[in-house]
Structure 1
Amino acid sequence: MEVTEHYIQLRLIFSHVHEEEEVEITMGVLATHLCCTMRNMNLIMNKFLDNGWVRWSPQRGRGKKSILVFRLSLQEVAGEWFERLLHNNKIEEAYTLAASLPFLIRENVMRRLQSQFGLRSDQSARGRVDTLRIPQETSFETLDPTQAVVWGDVGIVAEVFDRLVRYNAERDVCEPGLAMAWESNPEGTEWTFYLHKGVLFHHGRVLEAEDVKYTFERILSSVDNPCKALFGSIQMVKTFDDLTVRFLLKAPNFMFPDLMSSINASILPRDVEINPLYPIGTGPYRLVRNDPNILVLEVFSSYFRGRAFIDRVEVWQLPEAGRGESVIRQELFPDGNPHAVQHEVQGGVFMTFNMRKRGPHLDISFRRAIRELMHPQAMADALNRPAIQPTYSLVRKHDQGNQRDEEMNPLDAEKHPREVTMEQQKWNEVEEDMAPNVGVGIGVDGSSLVRASAWLKCSNYAGETVNVWVEEGVNMEHDMVWFAKRCEQIGLHVNIVPGDVVKAIYHNELQAYDLIYTGEVFDDHVVRSLITMYTFQKTLFLSVMDDHWRHELERGCDQIVAMQKPVKRMESLLQLEDRLIQEAILLPVYSFSEVHSHHPSLRDYRVMGYGMPDLRRLWVKRSPTAPEESSSYSAYIPLW
């Protein structure tokens, strides 16, 4: 144990003692407090004195006590030690220290995190080194491109690997990646890709066509591979030489290049069995460290598209979800206003149902009751969060706002007239009963509650408690507090349980739940993202769908990729989404935006679809007046 830790330990024990206040004590008692021998205590005390941290007046003789005076405050010494631990990447030790401190001191110490995140430019023996530090609250589960679905994992996969094709969101086109060109037959059943020469994997071997073949045969040969359906149209992969590979398909697929730009289509080396936490790719960054506290990427100087500017990327795991982010945001830019980048997240927050479990939620009337309880506009009005926008589709361009309200009327015209009459009677009874309590006719909130009650009475709900899983996070959990209150008003009993999204996705922990409240974040290619959501077996949405809906979604996506015109593909996907919404299987609630703030010296700061800055483009315009040794450039990147 370092001498600083001994001093902190004593100051915690004597937290009631002020600086320069005399304490009568013996060396033996101090040794007991520090669980050490008398000899070691004398050595420790001498180091305290050398550092000027204490004054010590020893007294000789039986029964006599010496005088100890602390000169350095707990806040000062703990703060400096916390910062030193962070500087040495001893993150777990730093957080353990912070957790041991009194509340006010802990908050002051944690504010030192502010200086750690963003970009730091240092001069070393090997020249200038630019390091970007990013906070994260979700642990990494897998960096295998065929398994990754959580956006923290996906963000790292995007930097470590390359695909045959790159999607350019600014131009809305597919561009060369590992393949410099590609072509197909007129029927869209054969696609040939021509690879760049001399592309290196991180372990030094040159990329060949056989690596591409190996990558996709690995997917297709595994029954349990979650992205198998995404590439299910592939019948065979052939190589003609080291740089030419051809895909023979079972059916026409005019979206094939778009699918090749997917993270799941990242190319692996055939001569190395993949380690899910330490993969090898061809990307601009190679993975050099990955443990529970920190993940480190270093620039790959031999990258075939040119060396990236940022030399090192460190992703730090923050403890205690929700608290770390508020600390990082406080006074992050004391020297002036930052540049702000507004990022409208594609996708959104939604409610869905565990169609693999028995319960009242299998009744469409019950699901329509939930749809009314989760009414997007009512939630937005009640929560009054500037960053959220009520939505009725996961595709921003398709969102129709309140135009869907009329579709939520409990009197479904397709039903038998007698059933409509019965529902009309129940509607009138519920409207009369609830009017004094919820303010019928006063705003969307009250009217949606009336409709929810009507649907609930039409369902087979018998008063049982419904289990609701909600993705952990302050905002999502606040949403469910609002939802629970609305459920109470119409007599619906719910048990809401926050859960870790990583465990839910990778360890299948949703079987016990009836309702699932989560979100889906798309990348820049929205059409491909929707197809992935409907076919990738580990998305939260698809993991709770029954075999009927899985088959329907896969069949629908097979038809969509066979369409030649992109406009038709989007139209068909929206029709598929509309069907899910009409069946109350998918209940979109709101879309949201994030604000990235960064120092003006960080240039070409562009946010990718998954919420990370594009590290391949980011660079630093260092100020001529910056110190030669080091300089820091703050950046606020919302936690994944």
Structure 2
Amino acid sequence: MLTEERYLALLNEYIARDIPAGSVMDKEVTLNELTKLFHCTERNVKLIVRKLEEEELIVWHPGRGRGNRSRIEFRVPRDEFLLQYAQRLADKGEYRTAFEVLNQYEEDQVVLDQFMKWLNGQFGYSEEENSNSAGCIDLFRLPVYRAPLTLDPANLFHSFDAHLTRQIFDRLVQYESDENSKVVPMLAHHWESNDDGTQWVFHLRKGVRFHHKRELTAHDVVFTFNRLRNRSMNEWLLFTMDRVEALNPITVKIVLKQPNWLLPRMLCSACAAILPADLVSEDEEKFWRMPIGTGAFRLTHWSSNLINLSVNTEYFLGRAYLDAVNIVILPEEIPGSSRLRWEKLIDNEARFPSKPEKDWNQIESFGKNCSLISWNRNKPGPQQSLSFRQAVNLIIDRRQLIQDVERGAPARGFLPREERLASSAFRYDRDAALQLLQESGYDGTPLDLITTLHQSEDASWFAEQCASVGINVRINYVTVSECSDEGIGAEADCILTCLAFADDEVCQLETYLQSQSFIYNHMEHNLRRWIFGIAKEILATASIEARSALFQQIEFRLQDEAQFLFLVHRKINTYVHPSIRGIGINRLGWMDFKDIWLTSPICDCDE
């Protein structure tokens, strides 16, 4: 037990929390009482007391003579000490321990609020001395509430993981979501296809280097795509590929089994980021502990509490303005009301807890996202009945959900199209729902719903609506990593989640085709097979309008079968400190660190 923990134990045992400020804090004790409190011998108690005195936390007044009790004089008030202790833990990166200490007693909410205010001030922009050279570095420090599960592009599942991967690695091409929404050069400066879209050739830039200084070649691209196709959860991305070959050190040819006019767009995915073949082949386990790419930032530290990114000064698309980014990983269990304002810069799932300062800037938009309920049609239960699924859909008043819990617009499909946002045809009909429930033969069997703590308010609201017509919903909260586990998804009757679509067409295909996703595994076999056939037709279609019609066919069938219960398109409200410039929220709902620059007073570090 640490000295701080022992002092806190003494305070909790002997000093009332509501003691008036300025009061003398002392207590008569015996060594025997302390041996019981610390679960140790009298000899060790004396050592502990001596250590607490050395740390100037207590003054020990030993009892003189038989029957006289000793006395402890406490030198630091409980609230002051608790705050300082939590701050020291945070400074060492032990955020989870700090919150565990502060959350032991409900009476400590005031201290928790003070700690959150202090912690908030630790994030954002700072100029710090460079330990490796003279001068200052521009550092941006941000908090998140979940650690990345992986930075391996081939196994990406969550948007935050994809966002970090995009900072470290690059793709052959990238998708610009401006007014024209087009695929533009990245590692490849040019590409072309044959007339029927079955062969594609990509020409690589010269002189692009990985973070370990080796120049990127066509061999790295061939290695990456073969690895992605053969042994990953994102193999769907290249399911039309027959082979990939290096025509020369800077030219790659991809031969397909069928026409695929979406191939360049699909290769914009973070899952298609190019890896250094030499390092991954040499020791893959070691490589993924500290992965190396060609990106604007290189990874310099990765632990359970902290991720450090340092600028790639030789980045081929131009050096980033920031010198470093520190991402602090806070405990996922922190209640939304206690979360930090800075988090909103890269976490669009959290509720913004309080009003920002007046001079902060606001970026507001509808994200390419959709919160929904996915019904598991491969598990016995009431959700097997179409009438039951339709009944639940009719008792969900989406406008009331938006008023009570969410910010956004009612959802009728995956994407927030203008005609959907403007439409008022969102049916809510309790009487019709009760009739459909009767037709379904529902017998009161509880529904097991799985979701994450981020979705707790939505889940509780959903359960209340179901209870109003006699449907019992049992909510099981899991971590973000557990939510993506195939086994957990298979055990649920339904899952509440929010999907983000970085690229409209590609992300929709991913939703339908990624074999390890719970959405894919919730659809019954015939529906999956039919969707796969439509997907092949989509890839072979050159016209954007014709592809859109095919995607609509899929959505219409999903709606007819009530496979999903679409809820809300969330509105993203991002608050930005006025010193931060270049902020733009990308299609993953995050900000690209490369484009950020900062205004501040002239650095006064010692030269």
Report if TM-score (shorter chain) is over 0.5: yes
Deviates more, 1:188-197 or 1:547-556: 547-556
CA contact (8 A) 1:393 1:399 kept: no
CA contact (8 A) 1:114 1:332 kept: no
The residue aligned with 2:369 is 347
The residue aligned with 2:558 is 580
2:147 paired with 1:143: no
The residue aligned with 1:12 is 12
2:271 paired with 1:251: no
The residue aligned with 1:435 is none
Residue 216 of structure 1: which of 202, 205, 225 is its match? 225
CA contact (8 A) 1:202 1:281 kept: yes
One-letter amino acid matched to 1:289 = H
Deviates more, 1:107-116 or 1:55-64: 55-64
Residue correspondence of structure 1 range 207-606 to structure 2 within 5 A: 207-222=216-231, 225-273=232-280, 274-275=284-285, 276=288, 278-319=290-331, 321-323=333-335, 326-329=338-341, 336-377=358-399, 379-380=401-402, 383-385=403-405, 387-397=407-417, 399-400=419-420, 405=425, 445=428, 448-459=429-440, 461-473=441-453, 476-523=455-502, 525-606=503-584
The residue aligned with 1:184 is 193
CA contact (8 A) 1:343 1:594 kept: yes
Shift of 1:174: 0.9
Shift of 1:197: 1.8
CA contact (8 A) 2:168 2:297 kept: yes
One-letter amino acid matched to 1:533 = T
Give me the whole-angstrom Cα distance separating, in 1, the residues matched to 2:329 and 2:438: 47
CA contact (8 A) 1:580 1:586 kept: yes
Give me the whole-angstrom Cα distance separating, in 2, the residues matched to 1:587 and 1:305: 42
Give me the whole-angstrom Cα distance separating, in 2, the residues matched to 1:566 and 1:609: 19
Give me the whole-angstrom Cα distance separating, in 1, the residues matched to 2:299 and 2:449: 34
The residue aligned with 1:413 is none
Residue 81 of structure 1: which of 81, 85, 99 is its match? 85
The residue aligned with 2:344 is none
Count, aligned residues: 582
CA contact (8 A) 2:14 2:27 kept: no
- Give the 3-state SS of the residue equivalent to 1:400 in structure 2: helix
Higher relative contact order (CA 8 A, sep 6+): 1
CA contact (8 A) 1:322 1:473 kept: no
CA contact (8 A) 1:463 1:492 kept: no
| Alpha-carbon displacement from aligned partner over 1:41-70 (angstroms, at most 9, x marks no partner) | 666656655665444444543433344322
CA distance change for structure 1 residues 180 and 107 in 2, over 3 Å: closer, same or farther?
A: same
Give me the whole-angstrom Cα distance separating, in 1, the residues matched to 2:172 and 2:54: 62
| Alpha-carbon displacement from aligned partner over 1:484-513 (angstroms, at most 9, x marks no partner) | 344344344443333334213134312222
CA distance change for structure 1 residues 185 and 103 in 2, over 3 Å: closer, same or farther?
A: same
The residue aligned with 1:118 is 124
CA contact (8 A) 1:347 1:591 kept: yes
| Alpha-carbon displacement from aligned partner over 1:448-482 (angstroms, at most 9, x marks no partner) | 111212222333x34151423242236x3333434
Q: Runs of 5+ in structure 1 lacking a partner?
A: 407-443, 630-640
Give me the whole-angstrom Cα distance separating, in 1, the residues matched to 2:264 and 2:99: 46
The residue aligned with 1:612 is 590
Q: TM-score, normalised by structure 1?
A: 0.82
CA distance change for structure 1 residues 104 and 254 in 2, over 3 Å: closer, same or farther?
A: closer
Q: TM-score, normalised by structure 2?
A: 0.87
Shift of 1:385: 4.2
- Give the 3-state SS of the residue equivalent to 1:509 in structure 2: helix
One-letter amino acid matched to 1:450 = D
Q: Runs of 5+ in structure 2 lacking a partner?
A: 342-351
Give me the whole-angstrom Cα distance separating, in 2, the residues matched to 1:562 and 1:502: 35
One-letter amino acid matched to 1:154 = A
| Alpha-carbon displacement from aligned partner over 1:520-568 (angstroms, at most 9, x marks no partner) | 1111x22222122122223332131222222222221221122223233
Give me the whole-angstrom Cα distance separating, in 2, the residues matched to 1:579 and 1:562: 21
Shift of 1:84: 2.2
Give me the whole-angstrom Cα distance separating, in 2, the residues matched to 1:32 and 1:567: 76
Shift of 1:332: 8.1
CA contact (8 A) 1:229 1:554 kept: no
Give me the whole-angstrom Cα distance separating, in 2, the residues matched to 1:550 and 1:160: 34
CA distance change for structure 1 residues 61 and 108 in 2, over 3 Å: closer, same or farther?
A: farther
Deviates more, 1:605-614 or 1:360-369: 360-369
2:79 paired with 1:70: no
Give me the whole-angstrom Cα distance separating, in 1, the residues matched to 2:220 and 2:197: 23
CA contact (8 A) 1:321 1:473 kept: yes
The residue aligned with 1:429 is none
- Give the 3-state SS of the residue equivalent to 1:575 in structure 2: helix
Give me the whole-angstrom Cα distance separating, in 2, the residues matched to 1:332 and 1:131: 25
Deviates more, 1:64-73 or 1:207-216: 64-73
The residue aligned with 1:103 is 108
Residue 622 of structure 1: which of 581, 593, 600 is its match? 600
CA contact (8 A) 1:78 1:109 kept: no
Give me the whole-angstrom Cα distance separating, in 2, the residues matched to 1:539 and 1:401: 28
Give me the whole-angstrom Cα distance separating, in 2, the residues matched to 1:96 and 1:384: 30
Give me the whole-angstrom Cα distance separating, in 1, the residues matched to 2:11 and 2:469: 56
Give me the whole-angstrom Cα distance separating, in 2, the residues matched to 1:590 and 1:300: 39
CA distance change for structure 1 residues 332 and 469 in 2, over 3 Å: closer, same or farther?
A: closer
One-letter amino acid matched to 1:11 = L
One-letter amino acid matched to 2:431 = V
CA contact (8 A) 1:601 1:623 kept: no
| Alpha-carbon displacement from aligned partner over 1:223-270 (angstroms, at most 9, x marks no partner) | xx3322221111111101111101011111111111110111111122
- Give the 3-state SS of the residue equivalent to 1:357 in structure 2: coil
Give me the whole-angstrom Cα distance separating, in 2, the residues matched to 1:245 and 1:119: 41
CA contact (8 A) 2:366 2:408 kept: no
- Give the 3-state SS of the residue equivalent to 1:163 in structure 2: coil
CA contact (8 A) 1:470 1:477 kept: no
CA contact (8 A) 2:28 2:71 kept: yes
CA distance change for structure 1 residues 77 and 467 in 2, over 3 Å: closer, same or farther?
A: same
CA contact (8 A) 2:486 2:516 kept: no
Q: Percent identity?
A: 27
The residue aligned with 2:345 is none
Give me the whole-angstrom Cα distance separating, in 1, the residues matched to 2:468 and 2:358: 48
- Give the 3-state SS of the residue equivalent to 1:328 in structure 2: coil
Shift of 1:196: 1.6
CA distance change for structure 1 residues 94 and 326 in 2, over 3 Å: closer, same or farther?
A: closer
